[in-house]
């Protein structure tokens, strides 16, 4: 069965209790379930990886060339995750960058993402819904 890679970076394991006024109350498990539900119609499964370590995210990408596409919330690695960027440059499938918060409405250090130029698209500011939007976009881009 086709699998979608769902990558979440540093500090996203504590969603639900991490600054809920910014990131909402959905937990990472809620988000992984929502993406799973969104992809059920396409017959895709989810390979979910969260890590606070850039190296582990890179390994998940390198081991994920067999996946059909990816959703990537890099957390603060958006700012200077050059090794993550290099890993994504070699990832052979379409992928979408997701941010729960509207990063452009926040501190200026969040306004540029080093990975965004490589993404098929970027979804920001829609909270947990953004992951569903990204999943739907990937089904449309890749074709179920
Ligand atoms: C985030 C935005 C980043 O700037 C921040 O460092 C995060 C979460 C988001 O989902 O809104 O960790 O990626």
Which residues are bridge partners to 7 per DSSP?
A: 49, 72
How far is residue 38's CA from residue 102's CA, in Å, rounded to a whole number? 22
Task: Please indicate if the annotation marks 102 as binding a ligand.
Answer: no
Give the domain ranges of the chain: 3-142
Beta strands in 24-112, from DSSP E residues, in sequence order: 45-50, 69-73, 95-99
pTM (two decimals):
0.98
99-138 pLDDT, tens digit per residue, is: 999 999 999 999 999 999 999 999 999 999 999 999 999 9
The C-alpha atoms of residue 137 and residue 134 are separated, in whole angstroms, by 5
**pLDDT value for 3:** 98
Mean pLDDT on 60-65 = 98
Q: Which of 72, 99, 116, 127 to mutate to test the pocket of ligand 1 (most atoms within 8 A of CB)?
A: 99
Residue 104: name the closest of 96, 95, 113 by CA: 113
Contact 16, 95 (CB under 8 A): no
Q: Identify the residues whose C-beta falls under 6 Å from ligand 1.
A: 11, 73, 75-76, 78, 99-101, 103, 110
Distance CA(137)–CA(27), nearest Å, equals 22
Please give the CATH architecture assigned to the domain spanning 3-142. Answer: 3-Layer(aba) Sandwich (3.40)
37 marked among binding-site residues: no
Q: In Å, what is the CA distance from 67 to each residue of 29, 76, 102, 120, 142?
A: 20, 24, 28, 16, 11
Residue 1 Cα, ligand 1 centroid: separation in angstroms? Answer: 31
pLDDT, tens digit (0-9, with 9 covering 90-100), for 17-55 = 999 999 999 999 999 999 999 999 999 999 999 999 999
């Amino acid at each position: 069965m086709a699998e979608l890679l769902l990558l979440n970076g540093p500090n996203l394991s504590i969603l639900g209790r991490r600054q809920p006024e910014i990131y909402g109350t959905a937990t990472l498990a809620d988000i992984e379930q929502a993406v799973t539900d969104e992809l059920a119609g396409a017959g895709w499964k989810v390979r979910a990886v969260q890590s606070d370590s850039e190296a582990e995210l890179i390994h998940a990408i390198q081991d994920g060339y067999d996946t059909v596409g990816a959703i990537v919330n890099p957390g603060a690695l958006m700012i200077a995750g050059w090794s993550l960027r290099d890993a994504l440059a070699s990832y052979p499938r379409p992928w979408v960058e997701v941010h729960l918060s509207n990063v452009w409405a926040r501190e200026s250090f969040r306004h540029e993402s080093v990975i965004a130029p490589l993404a098929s698209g970027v979804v920001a500011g829609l909270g947990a819904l953004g992951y569903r939007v990204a999943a739907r976009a990937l089904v449309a881009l890749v074709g179920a």
